[in-house]
C-alpha cells in the first residue's frame, strides 16, 4: 500500500515569488513514479511534472522543478516566478506500477496574489 | 484541453438508485481509469480498464462497476447509491498501460446523492 501526505492545506504568495509545496510518501515498491498534478477551478487536472524513482536527477519543466529526496521519501515541488495562472489545487501522487492506479495526497490550494 | 470528455457534468440521485457516468477518451488511449474525489480530498482510485478488461481495482465495493468499449468510450456504473457516494467522479485515459504514463483527465461528473 502507498500513502501520500501533503501537510500544507493552503499557501498564498505574491506574483513572481518562488513557492515550494511539500509532499512525503511511503511505499514498499522498489520502483515507483511520483507526480505533481494541477487542478484549476472547474478545469481538468493536468500533469505538472513526473519523477521516476530510479533516476537520481531531479525533474524540471520550465518554471517547475522537484526536490526528490528518496531516503527521506520526500518529493517537493518548486514553482519559480509564480504567475496568476498557477492558482490551483496541487496534488502529489505516487504509483508503484502495474494497474494499481495513482495514490493522491489531499492537495495544497495555492493562491497567487497580484 | 486534455481531449477527455465526461457526461453528465452534474446530476442528482436519491439513495438506492443506480447511476451511469460516461467518458470519451482520446483516440488511441487503450487504458482508462476512474477516480472518486470527495469534497476537499484527493482523488481515490476506483478501477482501471485495459483493452476492455478490468485489470486493477482500488478499495471499492462490487456495486462500482465499469465497461470499456472499442471506440475509446467507457462507463462507470454505481448501484444502490449511498449518501457517501456524493463526489466528483474523474475519468482518466492513457496510451500506456501500467506505471509512469501520463494520465489525461476529464473535467469530471459531480454526483449528489440525497
Predicted confidence at residue A99, as pLDDT, reads 76
Q: Which residues between 58 and 87 in chain B have a beta carbon less than 8 angstroms from any beta carbon of chain A?
A: 58
Q: How far apart are CA A32 and CA B63, in angstroms?
A: 30
**Residue range A52-71: mean pLDDT, rounded:** 94
Predicted confidence at residue B98, as pLDDT, reads 61
CA separation, residue B46 to residues A12, A99, A100, B32, B37 (Å): 32, 11, 10, 11, 10
- Chain A residues within an 8 Å CB radius of B50: 99
Residue A78 has pLDDT above 80, yes or no: yes
Predicted confidence at residue A29, as pLDDT, reads 85
B98 vs A37, A52, A97: nearest CB: A97
The nearest CA of chain B is from the CA of A35 a distance in Å of: 9
Residue B99 has pLDDT above 80, yes or no: no
Q: Check CB contact of B56 with chain A, cutoff 8 Å.
A: yes
Stronger pLDDT, A104 or B97, i.e. the higher one: A104
Query: Which positions in chain A have a beta carbon within 8 angstroms of at least one beta carbon in chain B?
Result: 4, 6, 31-33, 37, 42-47, 50, 52, 91, 93, 95-107
Q: How far apart are CA B31 and CA B48, in angstroms?
A: 7
Q: Find out whether the peptide bond into B8 is cis, omega within 30 degrees of 0.
A: yes
The nearest CA of chain A is from the CA of B40 a distance in Å of: 7
Contact call for residues A102 and B43 (beta carbons, < 8 A): yes
CA separation, residue B61 to residues A39, A98, A114, B36, B79 (Å): 27, 21, 46, 13, 10
Predicted confidence at residue B100, as pLDDT, reads 73
Predicted confidence at residue A25, as pLDDT, reads 97
A98 vs B4, B40, B56: nearest CB: B56
The nearest CA of chain A is from the CA of B84 a distance in Å of: 17
Summarize pLDDT for A2-59 with one digit per residue, the tens: 899 999 999 999 999 999 999 999 998 888 999 999 999 878 999 999 999 998 899 9
Summarize pLDDT for B14-70 with one digit per residue, the tens: 999 999 999 999 888 889 999 999 999 999 999 999 989 999 999 999 999 999 999
The nearest CA of chain A is from the CA of B18 a distance in Å of: 25
A104 vs B2, B43, B55: nearest CB: B43
Q: How far apart are CA B94 and CA B30, in angstroms?
A: 7
H helix and E strand count, chain A: 0, 12
Q: What is the CA radius of gyration of chain B?
A: 13
Strand partners, B91: B34
The nearest CA of chain A is from the CA of B96 a distance in Å of: 10
Binned at pLDDT 50, 70 and 90, residue B97 comes out as low
Please state, for a pLDDT cut of 70, what percent of chain B lies above it: 96
Predicted confidence at residue A96, as pLDDT, reads 80
Predicted confidence at residue A71, as pLDDT, reads 93
Predicted confidence at residue A77, as pLDDT, reads 98
Q: Cα B60 vs. chain centroid, distance in angstroms?
A: 12
Please state, for a pLDDT cut of 90, what percent of chain B lies above it: 82
- Chain A residues within an 8 Å CB radius of B103: 47, 102
What is the torsional sign of CA B31, B40, B1, B77? positive
Amino acid at each position: 500500500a502507498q500513502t501520500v501526505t501533503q501537510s500544507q492545506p493552503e499557501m498564498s504568495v505574491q506574483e513572481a515569488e518562488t513557492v515550494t509545496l511539500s509532499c512525503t510518501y511511503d511505499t514498499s515498491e522498489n520502483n515507483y513514479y511520483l507526480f505533481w498534478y494541477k487542478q484549476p477551478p472547474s478545469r481538468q487536472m493536468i500533469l505538472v511534472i513526473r519523477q521516476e524513482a530510479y533516476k537520481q536527477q531531479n525533474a524540471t519543466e520550465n518554471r517547475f522543478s522537484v526536490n526528490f529526496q528518496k531516503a527521506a521519501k520526500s518529493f517537493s515541488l518548486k514553482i519559480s516566478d509564480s504567475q496568476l495562472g498557477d492558482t490551483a489545487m496541487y496534488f502529489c501522487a505516487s504509483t508503484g506500477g502495474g494497474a494499481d492506479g495513482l495514490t493522491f495526497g489531499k492537495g495544497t490550494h495555492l493562491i497567487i496574489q497580484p | 484541453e486534455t481531449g477527455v470528455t465526461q457526461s453528465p457534468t452534474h446530476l442528482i440521485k436519491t439513495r438506492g438508485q443506480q447511476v451511469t457516468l460516461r467518458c470519451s477518451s482520446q483516440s488511441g488511449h487503450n487504458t482508462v481509469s476512474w477516480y472518486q474525489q470527495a469534497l476537499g480530498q484527493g482523488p481515490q482510485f476506483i478501477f482501471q480498464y485495459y483493452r476492455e478488461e478490468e485489470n486493477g481495482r482500488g478499495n471499492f465495493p462490487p456495486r462500482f462497476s465499469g465497461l470499456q468499449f472499442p471506440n475509446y468510450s467507457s462507463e462507470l456504473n454505481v448501484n444502490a447509491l449511498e449518501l457517501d457516494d456524493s463526489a466528483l467522479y474523474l475519468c482518466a485515459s492513457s496510451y500506456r498501460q501500467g506505471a509512469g504514463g501520463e494520465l489525461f483527465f476529464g473535467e469530471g461528473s459531480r454526483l449528489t446523492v440525497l
